[in-house]
């Protein structure tokens, strides 16, 4: 075991080789007097995981792809780092007493089980995996209350809302901003022949492929609406999506007196990651400051839900409740992968999700086992 690091916060990073994970390590690299890496978990990028482990010397690492175990273990054999493999190991390591905070940044449904395990063992959670809340929002929030565990949002929009609400009450409405993605302003006819390369060219943000495609379809914003409902205890009819192409206003809240409070900043995920790590403190950041002279115009518009139907499907799913958001999420993950492989058109993503939502058995009050079975059923059909 590593020696006691005293007041240093020891962090487990789930999804360390992804976009959020690598940016989180940037934050830790700059603040080694405050943070240490206790666990690194990656999906299949063994080489990057090895590099991260050699730099940050965690207590343990996990490679979810079991076929990569020997590669990682051999590379770290001369170092005091335990090596595990498989998704079960990711969840099991969340029980480690030496973990102070878990950054949940595994993309998709796969992040649910380890996040819940971390909560059940009293770990503070910095949440970057919105699907966890989409699929099992009630179960996760109930567990957090039962175990007295804080869930600190990392998504830029939810971090913005959280920051706007600190010290406030009497919330009337959440104004959730969206960039509009690479196809803002386009009609359905012009999207018939969209390529994968075009869909992956986000105008403002650097993200992984799944999140980037979700941004292009506006499904990402639909998932964020559902996440906001559970994080902030607000009915979805009080969550309004506003397209803001400049991505400077990360989100806003409106209070009962009509006042609106916004959080602004340059488009980077390092700021919300650092805020989640340091809350309730704010600590120094090396990042460039927002220069309003570079943004002479900040614009806002309503989303086009006729063209980008995934946002409407998300509202429909949470309106139905039960296991419907789980059905929608699994169908979307399948559809995005099919699109990335060239087996489905861009517009076909929404069509596929809608069809699966209509055909999959509905459960009004699902247990956690029901949700796992629902997810399995959607992916296998």
Q: Determine the pLDDT at residue 51.
A: 98
Q: Tokens 């969840």 correspond to what residue?
A: 91
Instruction: Classify 197 as helix, strand or coil.
Output: helix
Strand partners, 241: 176
Please tell me the predicted confidence (pLDDT) of residue 53: 98
- 231 C-beta neighbours (distance < 10 Å), count: 23
Indicate the pTM of the whole model.
0.91
Of 78, 104, 80, the residue nearest 91 (C-alpha): 104
pLDDT of residue 315: 96
Provide the pairing of β-strand 35-42 with 60-63.
Answer: parallel
Phi, psi values for residue 175, rounded to 5°: -110, 100
Mean pLDDT by 10 residues, the chain (381 residues): 63 96 96 97 96 98 97 96 96 96 92 95 96 94 97 96 93 95 92 92 77 93 96 96 95 97 94 97 93 93 95 96 97 96 96 97 96 96 81
Cα 367 from Cα 167, distance rounded (Å): 35
DSSP class per residue in 102-120: EEE---SGGGHHHHHHHHH
- Which fold would CATH assign to domain 9-153? Rossmann fold (3.40.50)
Distance from C-alpha of 244 to C-alpha of 298, rounded to nearest angstrom: 7
Q: Which two tokens stand for residue 315?
A: 């509202």
In the sheet where 60-63 sits, what is the strand order? 82-85, 60-63, 35-42, 9-14, 101-104, 124-127, 151-153
| Long-range Cβ contacts of 275-282 (<8 Å, 24+ apart) | 275/159, 275/163, 276/103, 276/126, 276/152, 276/153, 276/154, 276/159, 277/9, 277/11, 277/24, 277/27, 277/28, 277/31, 277/34, 277/35, 277/101, 277/126, 278/34, 279/152, 280/166
C-alpha to C-alpha distance for 195 and 180, rounded to whole angstroms? 17
Token pair 């996440």 is found at 227
Burial class (CB in 10 A: 0-12, 13-18, 19+), 168: exposed
- Give 299's contacts (C-beta < 8 A, 6+ positions apart): 244, 245, 246
Predicted local distance difference test score (pLDDT) of residue 1 = 34
Instruction: Say how far apart CA 336 and CA 214 lie, in whole Å.
Output: 8
Match 């076929």 to its residue by tokens.
67
User: What is the C-alpha to C-alpha distance for residues 115 and 284, in angstroms, rounded to an integer?
Assistant: 28
The position carrying tokens 């309730």 is 280
Cβ–Cβ contacts within 10 Å for residue 301, how many?
A: 13
Q: Half-sphere exposure of 214 toward its Cβ, with a 13 Å CA cutoff?
A: 25
CATH topology of domain 157-376: Rna Polymerase Sigma Factor; Chain: A (1.10.1740)
**Structural domain spans, the chain:** 9-153, 157-376
pLDDT on residue 205? 65
Exposed/middle/buried for residue 328 (C-beta within 10 Å: 0-12, 13-18, 19+)? buried
d(CA 282, CA 179): 26
What's CA 257's distance to the chain center, in Å?
Answer: 32
């Amino acid at each position: 075991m590593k020696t006691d690091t005293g007041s240093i916060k020891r962090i487990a990073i789930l999804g360390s080789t992804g976009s959020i994970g690598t940016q989180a390590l940037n934050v830790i690299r700059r603040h080694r007097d405050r943070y240490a890496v206790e666990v690194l978990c990656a999906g299949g990028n063994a080489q990057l995981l090895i590099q991260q482990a050699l730099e940050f010397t965690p207590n343990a690492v996990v490679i979810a792809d079991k076929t990569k175990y020997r590669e990682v273990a051999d590379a770290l054999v001369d170092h005091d780092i335990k090596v595990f493999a498989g998704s079960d190991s990711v969840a099991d390591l969340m029980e480690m007493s030496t973990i102070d905070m878990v950054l949940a940044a595994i993309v998709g449904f796969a992040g649910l089980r380890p996040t819940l395990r971390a909560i059940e063992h009293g770990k503070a959670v910095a949440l970057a995996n919105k699907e966890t809340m989409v699929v099992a929002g009630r179960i996760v929030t109930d567990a957090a209350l039962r175990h007295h565990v804080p869930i600190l949002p990392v998504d830029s929009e939810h971090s913005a809302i959280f920051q706007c609400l600190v010290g406030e009450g009497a919330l009337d409405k959440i104004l959730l901003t969206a960039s509009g993605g690479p196809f803002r302003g386009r009609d359905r006819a012009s999207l018939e022949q969209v390529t994968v390369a075009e869909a992956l060219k986000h105008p403002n943000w650097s993200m992984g492929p799944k999140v980037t495609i979700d941004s292009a379809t506006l499904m990402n914003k639909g998932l964020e609406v559902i996440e906001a409902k559970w994080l902030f205890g607000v009915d979805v009819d009080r969550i309004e999506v506003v397209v803001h192409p400049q991505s400077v206003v990360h989100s806003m809240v409106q209070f009962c007196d009509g006042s609106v409070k916004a959080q602004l900043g340059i488009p980077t995920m390092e700021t919300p990651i650092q805020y989640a790590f340091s809350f309730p403190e704010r600590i120094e950041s090396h990042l460039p400051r927002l220069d309003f002279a570079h943004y002479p115009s900040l614009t806002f518009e309503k989303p086009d839900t006729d063209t980008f139907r995934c946002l409407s499907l998300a509202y429909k799913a949470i309106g139905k409740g039960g296991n419907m958001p789980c059905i929608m999420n699994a169908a979307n993950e399948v559809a995005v992968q099919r699109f990335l492989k060239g087996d489905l058109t861009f517009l076909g993503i929404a069509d596929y999700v809608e069809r699966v939502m209509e055909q999959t058995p509905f459960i009004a009050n699902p247990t956690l086992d029901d949700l796992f079975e629902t997810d399995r059923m959607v992916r296998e059909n």
